[in-house]
Copies of this chain bind each other. A is one copy, B any other.
Amino acid sequence: MAYFPADPRLLLSDMARPVLPDAPITPCLVVEPTRMKRNIDRLAGHLDHHGVTLRPHLKTCKNIDIAKLLLAGQAGGATVSTLAEADYFHAHGISDLLYAVGIAPGKLPAVIERLNAGMQLSLILDHVDTARACAQAARQSGHRLKLLLEIDADGQRAGLRPNSPMISAIVDALGSDCELAGVMVHAGGSYACTSTADITAMAETERLAALDAVGRLRALGLEAPVVSVGSTPTASLGQCFDGITEVRAGVHVFQDLVMAGLGVCSVDDIALSVMTEVIGHRPEHNRLIIDAGWMALSRDLGRAPDAPDLGYGLVCDDQWASRESLVVAACNQEHGLVSTRDGKALDFARYPIGTVLRVLPNHACATAAQHAGYWLENECSPTANDANRPGRFTEWRWLPRCHGW
């Protein structure tokens, strides 16, 4: 691990300083803990106010220390998007896990292994053939699989409409071999909303779809105690959770430019950034070259419908302050090409070779997925910094992420 220069002016005279063993090397993923805690507390307070439980989605953080912050004070378990996450969090003491991707029949033996190991793993499904595979796996293993019916509120991805005739076929196929414990809805369409009022309305659409569907299950004689909804936008801006037993959200822990573009947070709430160093100047193209390409930033160019194009991310200085609207305009594997959003001429003298910058992510899940873990910055105060080394944090803590499937 290399000495990590925060101020390029100090770099050349500072080369002989000893290498700090626990400091990151650029590009690296950095979490600012004060912002992160504020994000966690804000959603927890909102849902607490509405009397509904959060089942945090851990696919964004994929780290146990952050998961513990998300789970603090929550009655329920957590949500995961892979069995690898389930294994990792179960190994760290979180047993009640909802695997919120339609179960692939080929993964059922792996699910049974995990139930044998004591994991309380719930699955979701939306097809009668999946129900048949689950019932057979349950009979053969002796485990009464716990399942939620995936319901579609917005036509975006998976799930059945609440009035689908396949619902009763699924109930029949599961029979008594499995527990169909309720319904799950994810209003991914909230990412396409153009106002916070639309997101609040989408949250109500999500809630009503869930209640409609669970009502049909109950009319078929099932207890169906679980009514699970959520996405970060609808969880954050929903104003009614009556009848809902749990809300899922994950991106809120870090927030990102998509969430800021939707009005779910402000850019100053974004707790995740990629630290990078200026390695080149291209005045003829009005571009800086940085050592963070798509490998460090991800290829995610997603943005909110009415948000400006920020390329591969908004560039800030090492103190998280935006600088004259610099964005990462293009990427190669390990190169980022930084330019101004408005086409104005860059002041290259402000960004000498070696300048440390930060890039705020379009999509926190995608950017974080490019890294083996996070560097957690120590909580910065004016006195905590060496006055001669502005912005240079003296303590870094490594938080690993789980990976794979």
Chain B contacts for A126, CB-based, 8 A = 280
The reply to whether B188 and A109 contact each other, CB–CB distance below 8 Å, is no
Q: Measured between alpha carbons, how far is A277 from B129 in the docked complex, in Å?
A: 13
The reply to whether A352 and B129 contact each other, CB–CB distance below 8 Å, is yes
Q: Measured between alpha carbons, how far is A337 from B156 in the docked complex, in Å?
A: 10
Look across to chain B and name the residue whose beta carbon is closest to the beta carbon of A403: B372
Number of interface residues of A (CB under 8 A): 78
Chain B contacts for A1, CB-based, 8 A = 110
Q: Which of A218-226, A234-242, A264-272, A291-299 contacts B (4 or more CB under 8 A)?
A: A291-299
Q: Measured between alpha carbons, how far is A299 from B303 in the docked complex, in Å?
A: 14
Please tell me if A157 contacts chain B, counting CB pairs below 8 Å. yes
Please tell me if A94 contacts chain B, counting CB pairs below 8 Å. no
Chain B contacts for A109, CB-based, 8 A = 2-3, 15, 19
Please tell me if A66 contacts chain B, counting CB pairs below 8 Å. no
Partner of A104, one of B136, B296, B299, B354: B354
Interface residues as binary, A103-129 with B (CB distance below 8 Å gives 1, 0 otherwise): 111111110010000000000001101
Interface residues as binary, A278-319 with B (CB distance below 8 Å gives 1, 0 otherwise): 111110110001010011101111000000000000000000
Please tell me if A192 contacts chain B, counting CB pairs below 8 Å. no
Please tell me if A137 contacts chain B, counting CB pairs below 8 Å. yes
The reply to whether A25 and B133 contact each other, CB–CB distance below 8 Å, is no
Please tell me if A322 contacts chain B, counting CB pairs below 8 Å. no
The reply to whether A140 and B279 contact each other, CB–CB distance below 8 Å, is no
Assess A105 versus B365: contact at CB under 8 Å? Given A19-B113, A371-B404, A405-B25: no
Please tell me if A27 contacts chain B, counting CB pairs below 8 Å. yes
Q: Measured between alpha carbons, how far is A375 from B371 in the docked complex, in Å?
A: 21
Q: Measured between alpha carbons, how far is A345 from B11 in the docked complex, in Å?
A: 61
Q: Which of A31-39, A196-204, A328-336, A381-389 contacts B (4 or more CB under 8 A)?
A: A328-336
Please tell me if A346 contacts chain B, counting CB pairs below 8 Å. no
Chain B contacts for A127, CB-based, 8 A = 279-281, 353
The reply to whether B405 and A296 contact each other, CB–CB distance below 8 Å, is yes
The reply to whether A334 and B82 contact each other, CB–CB distance below 8 Å, is yes
Partner of A353, one of B130, B280, B296: B130
Look across to chain B and name the residue whose beta carbon is closest to the beta carbon of A371: B404
The reply to whether B366 and A335 contact each other, CB–CB distance below 8 Å, is no
Q: Measured between alpha carbons, how far is A11 from B291 in the docked complex, in Å?
A: 47
Chain B contacts for A365, CB-based, 8 A = 333
CB distance from A80 to the nearest CB of B (A): 10
Please tell me if A321 contacts chain B, counting CB pairs below 8 Å. no
CB distance from A254 to the nearest CB of B (A): 14
CB distance from A121 to the nearest CB of B (A): 13
Assess A26 versus B405: contact at CB under 8 Å? Given A11-B133, A15-B133, A82-B334: yes
Partner of A16, one of B140, B277, B284, B337: B140
Please tell me if A158 contacts chain B, counting CB pairs below 8 Å. yes
Q: Measured between alpha carbons, how far is A104 from B336 in the docked complex, in Å?
A: 13
Please tell me if A47 contacts chain B, counting CB pairs below 8 Å. no
Q: Measured between alpha carbons, how far is A335 from B345 in the docked complex, in Å?
A: 41
Assess A5 versus B294: contact at CB under 8 Å? Given A25-B83, A157-B335, A354-B133: no
Q: Please name 23 pairs of A and B residues whose Cβ atoms are closer than 8 Å in the assembled complex, sorted by A.
A: A2-B109, A2-B113, A3-B110, A5-B106, A11-B105, A12-B136, A26-B104, A59-B333, A81-B333, A102-B291, A103-B279, A104-B277, A104-B279, A104-B291, A126-B280, A127-B279, A129-B352, A158-B279, A158-B282, A294-B366, A299-B301, A369-B370, A371-B404
